[in-house]
Amino acid sequence: MKQKILIADDSEMNRSILADMLGDEYEILEAEDGVEAVGILQKYETSISLLLLDIVMPNMDGFEVLIMMNKHKWIDEIPVIMISSESAPAHVERAYGLGIADFISRPFDALIVHRRVVNTILLYAKQKKLVGLVADQMYQKERQASMMVDILGHIVEFRNGESGRHVFHIRKLTELLLEYMIHHNIRPDLADLDVSLICTASALHDIGKIVIPDEVLNKPGRLTDEEFTIMKNHTLVGAKMLNELPFYQDEPLIRAAYEICRWHHERYDGRGYPDGLKGDEIPISAQIVALADVYDALTSERVYKKAYSHEKSIQMIVNGECGQFNPVLLDCLVDIADTLEKEMHDNDENTEPHINKDEMRNVAEEMFNREELTASERTLQLLELERMKYSFFADMSEEVQFEYTVSPPMVMLFALGAKKLGLNEIILDPLKDETVLAMSGPEGYKALSDALRSTTPEQPIVKHDQEIWIDGEKRWMRIIARAMWSQEEPPRYTGTIGKVIDIHDDRVKLDTLRQMASHDALTGLFNRRYAESRIKERMEARPDGRFALVIFDLDHFKDANDNYGHIFGDQVLSFMAEKLRLCIRGGDIAARVGGDEFLIFLEYKLDVETVIQRIFDSLIGQYEDFRISVSMGIAKTQEIGTEYEELFHAADQALYTVKRSGRGRYCFYDESMRDMLSVISSIDNDDDEETDSDKETDNNGKAAEDEADKEGEQ
């Protein structure tokens, strides 16, 4: 398969000249502007071997492409050769600062372009190989070195008949203790110690035992004083061996090993051997190895003893049954006791010292990249850091966060958000992207975009609720976004940052509450308060419309309650509401005002009377044994005007007139009724009825009607 080269240049001519030169050996991809180039890079990523990049291009120029490549770290893997007639030093410098491999000025020489392309691709391939090679070599070297030391240490243990694990245990314990102390800053003076050096040196602590005769070294019973003197000598012998090495005398490893060999049997109280050093006269490395040695001796089986448990061993050490140690060290030992037990056990399966291969690779790469950082690289690193923080918080927050730029038109999402919405992390030209459009029609995006564009730099934040398809389900989402305005005058809208929050469950709950607040529980019609606001809205929207407000109530409803009970009364009201719903038109408003009073608000063109007659007729009927008839008052905006309170009052007075004159009919308001009482005792305040509580019946608002009934009968 041919390697791929991407050519990004807005001139077709220029692209085809380059394609012609390289097409025989490479597969050529072409992009006619930066946005397309980024799209192709995103698609193919590192399977592109080289990018030939122009600077001046529409939508997104070459520098912006390089910035994107830095952002996504493609620049580390894909070499870029910039070809441009913009050969001003500032341009060239900036391009190199952004990480290009080479810069070719126009007019170019076919042979040179070809040669440089081939060289650059080879160079990058070689460098990648070399990084791997060096890492492998370093890994091997390190591994061999520590193997040699371990073998040496092990020889001694072998003679000693101890398990081969001893050297490894000492190394591990030393490492754990030292790292704990440094990490918790228990001994600030240790900060500069080379932990791995001391650990390696710890393996040599007993090399002096090589000269101790077998019968002393491996004696099962207690040693005699004489034998013990011989035994003690291993510290001095080991130290001497190291000291008399013909070479490496001044190596830090040898110095560390010397200290450990000589003094790992000293005691903190000064009663140890060979030199009787006391307290911190004993080097900390030797103190630690001594502690590690005792712990391992206790937990291992020896010719003269069985193994103690981990807990028992720690307890014995802390109680001072096995020597005297630095109290600080003992505290540390107790602190790491749990880790210690686990590490010792886990690592018994794998005794090879831990060398991290990835770490080696990093070191090797670091060596390749160790150049002075230029200012722009430093800026990019800072940017990268900010991006990292930002992306971390974005991922922690469970919210979908996004960034949108106008030019090039592009949306960027953080990984988690993209996954949640089932979108790519980068979407070019989002309004033409099928996956984006599948989530909501273009109107939704337009509304959001309009809202953002109509913000100001002072108040750039927009809250926008919208239904979005996610996983085949339509859910309410709230988009909180901040429009980005440029610094120039007048400011230009450059893009948006924002987040998307799922508010579906809250929204559904709110809708239910809203339904409950605006509707009458018994009949499901609007309640009075909500009807009022809807009516006001309607009249405001069409000040020149012709509207009529109708109030009616059931004649002799009190009888239904009295004769058949309140449950029956409620059934009658529900029955009425259903009838009402059936006889009004789609745009009309129907509500239960209270008790057995209902309200209708309707718009008409010419003849309102026909409409009223039809409604009136269809409301009359029978519910079981109860004969239904209604009294109805009507007020028209043409006469009263569009003031709701006055309209309501007028309809109410017309209703009162009907009631006085014998019920069972309807009547339009006219001037003669101006001074009438009203059926509904107060125009707009239900609470006033509370004061008349003694007169109230269960179907609230009856008191005034009873009054009217009485008057009507007079």
CB of 19 to another protein, least distance (A): 11
Structure tokens at 546: 């012709």
Which of 75, 125, 81 has its CA nearest to residue 98? 75
Of 106 and 432, the one with the shorter C-beta distance to another protein is 106
Size of the site for another protein (CB under 8 A): 20
Nearer to another protein, 19 or 186 (CB): 19
Longest Cα pair distance anywhere in the chain, in angstroms?
A: 137
Q: How far is the CB of 51 from another protein (least distance, A)?
A: 18
Type and span of the H or E element at 332: helix 327-335
Closest CB to another protein among residues 102, 705: 102
Instruction: Decide: is 58 part of the binding site for another protein (CB under 8 A).
Output: yes
Q: Is 57 in the site for another protein (CB under 8 A)?
A: yes
- Using CB under 8 A as the binding rule, the residues of this chain from 233 to 272 that contact another protein are none
Residue 589 exposure: Cα atoms within 13 Å on the Cβ side: 26
Please name every residue paired with 5 in a beta bridge, in sequence order, or none if there are none.
28, 50
Tell me the closest approach of the beta carbon of residue 85 to another protein, in angstroms. 5
Q: For the range 8-14, what are the long-range contacts, defined as Cβ-Cβ under 8 Å and sequence gap of 24 or more?
A: 8/32, 8/33, 8/34, 8/36, 8/37, 8/51, 8/52, 8/53, 8/54, 8/57, 8/62, 8/65, 9/52, 9/53, 9/54, 9/57, 9/83, 10/54, 10/56, 10/57, 10/58, 11/54, 14/54, 14/83
Question: Considering only 102-110, 175-183, 244-252, 532-540, which stretch makes contact with another protein by CB under 8 A?
Answer: 102-110
**CB 460 to another protein: min, Å:** 26
Tell me the window of 4-12, 130-138, 527-535, 608-616 that interacts with another protein (CB under 8 A). Answer: 4-12
Among 2, 3, 11, 639, interactor with another protein by CB under 8 A: 11
In whole angstroms, the minimum distance from the beta carbon of 108 to another protein comes to 7
Q: Which stretch binds another protein (CB under 8 A): 50-58, 205-213, 232-240, 633-641?
A: 50-58
To another protein, the closest distance from the beta carbon of 84 in angstroms equals 8
Residues 498, 479 contacting (CB under 8 angstroms):
yes
Shortest spacing between CB 426 and another protein, in angstroms: 24
Where does this chain touch another protein (CB under 8 A) — which range of 105-113, 121-129, 217-225, 701-709? 105-113
Do 519 and 475 touch, CB atoms closer than 8 A? no
Contacts of another protein in 110-169 (CB under 8 A) = 110-111
204 and 261 Cβ atoms separated by less than 8 Å: yes
Measured from the CB of residue 86, what is the shortest distance to another protein in angstroms?
Answer: 8
* 16 or 405: CB nearest another protein: 16
CA dist list (Å): 115 to 121, 130, 702: 10, 22, 101
Q: Is 107 in the site for another protein (CB under 8 A)?
A: yes
In 3D space, the residue among 514, 545, 519, 500 whose CA is nearest the CA of residue 647 turns out to be 545
Name the residue nearer to another protein (CB basis): 64 or 150: 64
Question: Could you tell me which residues come within 8 angstroms of residue 312 by beta carbon, excluding any fewer than 6 positions away?
Answer: 298
By C-beta, is 91 or 310 nearer to another protein? 91
Q: Pick the closer one to another protein by CB: 45 or 109.
A: 109
Least distance in Å: CB of 95 to another protein?
A: 16
Q: Which is nearer to another protein, 110 or 513 (CB)?
A: 110
Taking only Cα atoms into account, the Rg of the chain, rounded to an integer number of angstroms, comes to: 46
CA pair distance 204, 192, nearest whole angstrom = 22
Structure tokens that stand for 314 in this block: 């720690």
106 versus 542: smaller Cβ distance to another protein: 106
**108 in contact with another protein (CB under 8 A):** yes
Positive/negative CA dihedral, 99, 102, 105, 107: negative
Residues 6+ apart with CB under 8 A from 451: 462, 464
**Does the footprint of another protein cover residue 87 (CB under 8 A)?**
no
Q: Rounded to the nearest whole angstrom, what is the least distance from the CB of residue 22 to another protein in the complex?
A: 13
Smallest distance, Å, CB 65 to another protein?
15
Of the pair 104, 337, the CB lying nearest another protein is at 104
Considering only residues 395 through 434, tell me which ones interact with another protein, judged by CB under 8 A. Answer: none
Answer for which of 45, 109, 269, 692 binds another protein (CB under 8 A) is 109
Residue where the block lists tokens 């309650």: 561
Angle between the N-to-C axes of helices 62-71 and 89-97, in degrees from 0 to 180, rounded to the nearest 10: 20
Residue 556 tokens, joined: 């002799």
Considering the rule CB under 8 A, would residue 606 count as an interface residue with another protein? Answer: no
Burial environment of residue 571 by CB neighbours within 10 A (0 to 12, 13 to 18, 19 or more): middle
The answer to whether 268 and 324 are in contact (CB under 8 A) is yes
For the CA atoms of 686, 691, 693, 696, the dihedral, rounded to the nearest 10 degrees, stands at: -40
Angstrom distance (rounded) from CA 69 to CA 84: 19
What are the contacts of 537-545 at 24+ separation with CB within 8 A?
Answer: 538/589, 538/601, 538/603, 539/637, 539/642, 539/644, 540/642, 542/603, 543/642, 545/603, 545/637
CB of residue 34 vs another protein: minimum separation in angstroms?
12
Distance CA 250, CA 240 (A): 14
Shortest Å distance, C-beta 11 to another protein: 5
- At closest approach, how far in Å is the CB of 410 from another protein? 19
Angle at which helices 252-263 and 225-243 cross, to 10°: 170
Tokens of 500: 């998307």
Residue 125, token pair as written in the block: 């391939």
Whichever of 226 and 489 has its CB closer to another protein, that residue is 489
Binding test (CB under 8 A) with another protein, winner from 17, 336, 355, 470: 17
Report, in Å, the least distance between residue 4 CB and another protein: 23
> Rounded to the nearest whole angstrom, what is the least distance from the CB of residue 21 to another protein in the complex?
8
Pick the closer one to another protein by CB: 85 or 140.
85
The correct pick among 47, 85, 229, 249 for binding another protein (CB under 8 A) is 85
Q: Does 16 bind another protein (CB under 8 A)?
A: yes
Residue 224 or 407 with smaller CB distance to another protein: 407
Q: Which is nearer to another protein, 11 or 512 (CB)?
A: 11
Q: Which residues have CB under 8 Å from 328's CB, separation 6+?
A: 186, 187
The residue within the footprint of another protein, chosen from 13, 191, 396, 541 (CB under 8 A), is 13
- By CB under 8 A, name the one of 20, 301, 511, 670 that touches another protein: 20
The residue among 108 and 598 lying less far from another protein, judged by its C-beta, is 108
14 binds another protein, rule: CB under 8 A: yes
Q: Closest approach of Cβ 16 to another protein, in Å?
A: 7
Using DSSP's 3-state secondary structure scheme, residue 81 falls into strand
Choose among 420, 426, 413: nearest CA to 475. 420
Interface stretch with another protein, choices 56-64, 177-185, 321-329, 630-638 (CB under 8 A): 56-64
The amino acid at 222: R
How far is it, in rounded angstroms, from Cα 285 to Cα 258?
A: 10
Q: Which of these, 276, 393, 260, lies nearest to 324 by C-alpha position?
A: 276
From the number of C-beta atoms within 10 Å of its C-beta (0-12, 13-18, 19+), residue 385 rates as exposed
Q: Which is nearer to another protein, 106 or 271 (CB)?
A: 106
Q: Which residues of the chain form contacts with another protein (CB under 8 A)?
A: 10-14, 16-17, 20, 54, 56-58, 84-85, 106-111
